[in-house]
Structure 1
Amino acid sequence: MQIIFHIGAPKTATTSLQHALKPARLRLAQQGIAYVPTGKLRNSEFGEALRDETPSFFRRRVSRKAVDDFVRTWSQPGTDRMLVSEEGFSIYLLHPRRKGGDWASQAGRTFKILRHFEPYDFRVVLTVRRQDSYLLSCYAHLVRHGRIGLPFEEWWPKEVDLSLMSWRRYIEALNAEYGAERVTVLPYERIRDGFGGYYRNFIAEACRVPEESVADMEPEENALNPALSDPAMQIALIVNRHTRKQVTALERKDLIKEMKRVLPPKQFPKYAPDIKDLREATARIFADENRYVNEHLLAAPHPGFLFG
């Protein structure tokens, strides 16, 4: 049994993929793939034991039995691959804070989790996204969850160290740990050609299924996450500035849901602040590096990952 770990990154349509993969479990099984729905690893005995694992003298260690039980539970007759999609492996990438260490230096979290599966044949699948649009999506996420009260043009220069956002260093850290043959890297930008194609390409590349075998696989539902509308984003920022910690994250979420009922996203343009300065700054740092990643490290290169 080969285990395929889709580790994110966050903000690369991971949730949309997970929504689409869950109802496709029977079709995936016909291709020899047992899909483990999101959260099942996190909430398994293995996941619970991992949260309790400590590096102290009296170590709490994850048992081999917990790992074997997890694999056994989700194996299916006739399948030879298991797909686990949990961006929690790399959720620390979401907000590259200043003085937080670059992405590559924090890849040890992934190593810590996956070392428990070393007795198995496993591979790692990572999706990357051009740094400027990645940050814009991070910002929308943080506003939606009530964590930011600043306009975008004030937030990123104050809160983000762009130099920490190197995909090449992160990928090379994964390659050094697991070997390049066990790491598959895909570009988020392929989604611009349509979610259906993005979904099929993910199955083909992540699970190494011939493309002709998934050519007729369409997502069974519209899994795309609607962005906050421009007016809803502005109202959310006002709410965030004035409520701070007085309103729980769940209450904020409910407030924004109510806003979106009054201001349906389809009636307004998506939130799109001016990112000219951000794009120029990220291009200065990453234009050459992204070109290298696109040409040498991506399984399915895409021009949208380049800065032009």
Structure 2
Amino acid sequence: MSSDDFRIAFHIGAHKTATSHLQRSLLRASDALVEQGVRYYGPDHFRLPGRTLSALFGLRERRAKRPPQDQLALMRKGADRIVFSEENFIGTLAHTISQDIEFGYPNANIKIARLSRALGKPIDLFLSVRNPTAMINSVYSQLLRGNKIIDFEDFKAMVPMTRGDWADLVTRLRETPGVGRLVVWAYEDYSALFDDICLAMLGTQITPVAHHVNPRLSAQAVAQILAQNDAGMQGELAKDAANAFPVENGFARFDGFSDREHDFADMAYRAQVDAISEMPGVTLLSPAAD
């Protein structure tokens, strides 16, 4: 294979769509993947000081240690395919109260275009989408686990569901210069599609790790966290509450939405996925019909 004949695959998320599960599966398989000509880099690499994608490839004002294409060659190490996975690159969802929540990833296409220009090659994108009410519930649990405690109604106001239009995001990404393949799947189909996702992204299949890497908090756990926080208590409130009321022991998962809100979200989400399935140049993975 020539020095320029290789592919770049980028799993961009989205958040709370089993990204941690996929990343841990890829990390565990990384040595075996090297033998098959695939180099994988995920959060364990990109979340170290000075190793974010923006820092490594000079996407910020501060100059990178080396030219972007030299950095890419260093990370590639002659592989046929280099695979990135870092959902925080396109935006973050678990900010503190004083910061914006980038629900809908309004700048994702701009960031991808900059990265592709820096690398001098098209990037194949891999994106998972999820029902917005389930996603927001899950992000809220993650926020609490990170000791960023806020009432759910206040958090929900920061992430209106109308901003989370997956069809709009996919359209923007598909129109972005420097994007090669664009592969999408629904989080709800993730388990059934794991082999297909890996084959599309890696060119091979791997064995998945155990599921539920970051499970949602239970309703009882959330209630305890909020009550203890209101009482001025400090410490590992989320950890203690999660241990006291684990979902695995039958405690109901937290859900801050009404039936009416769920119905609206379900309808909008189905319409968005249907629209994505019809988009030229987009591959929507779906389970095989029985």
Question: TM-score range, shorter-chain basis?
Answer: 0.7 to 0.9
Question: Which amino acid counterpart does residue 12 of structure 2 have in structure 1?
Answer: I
C-alpha distance in structure 2 between counterparts of 1:92 and 1:264, whole Å: 26
Determine if contact 1:35/1:82 at 8 Å carries over to the other structure: yes
C-alpha distance in structure 2 between counterparts of 1:233 and 1:100, whole Å: 20
Determine if contact 1:4/1:84 at 8 Å carries over to the other structure: yes
User: Quick one: which of 278, 281, 303 aligns to 2:261?
Assistant: 278
Q: What is aligned with 1:231?
A: 220
C-alpha distance in structure 2 between counterparts of 1:165 and 1:220, whole Å: 29
C-alpha distance in structure 1 between counterparts of 2:123 and 2:159, whole Å: 33
- The alpha carbon displacement at 1:220 in A equals 4.6
C-alpha distance in structure 2 between counterparts of 1:48 and 1:136, whole Å: 32
Q: Output the TM-score relative to the length of structure 2.
A: 0.78
Gaps of 5+ in 1: 55-59, 304-308
Instruction: Determine what percentage of the aligned residue pairs are the same residue.
Output: 22
Question: Which amino acid counterpart does residue 183 of structure 2 have in structure 1?
Answer: T
Q: What is aligned with 2:248?
A: 266
Question: Which amino acid counterpart does residue 230 of structure 1 have in structure 2?
Answer: A
Q: Is residue 45 of structure 2 the alignment partner of residue 36 of structure 1? A: no
C-alpha distance in structure 1 between counterparts of 2:276 and 2:124, whole Å: 19
Name the SS of the counterpart of 1:178 in structure 2: coil
Determine if contact 2:113/2:177 at 8 Å carries over to the other structure: no
Determine if contact 2:147/2:238 at 8 Å carries over to the other structure: no
Count matched residues.
276
Cα 1:234–1:104, aligned 2, differ >3 Å: closer, same or farther? closer
The 5 A counterparts of 1:57-76 are: 60-62=62-64, 65-76=66-77
Determine if contact 2:142/2:216 at 8 Å carries over to the other structure: no
The 5 A counterparts of 1:73-152 are: 73-76=74-77, 79-92=79-92, 103=104, 105-111=106-112, 113-150=114-151, 152=152
C-alpha distance in structure 2 between counterparts of 1:287 and 1:45, whole Å: 34
Name the SS of the counterpart of 1:40 in structure 2: helix
Deviation digits for residues 133-170 of structure 1, max 9, x if unmatched?
222212222232233432x4x34663332221111111
Q: What is aligned with 2:196?
A: 201
Q: Output the TM-score relative to the length of structure 1.
A: 0.74
C-alpha distance in structure 1 between counterparts of 2:209 and 2:92, whole Å: 30
Deviates more, 1:41-50 or 1:21-30: 41-50
Of Structure 1 and Structure 2, the greater helix share is in 1
Gaps of 5+ in 2: 1-5
C-alpha distance in structure 2 between counterparts of 1:225 and 1:261, whole Å: 14
User: Quick one: which of 20, 27, 30 aligns to 2:25?
Assistant: 20
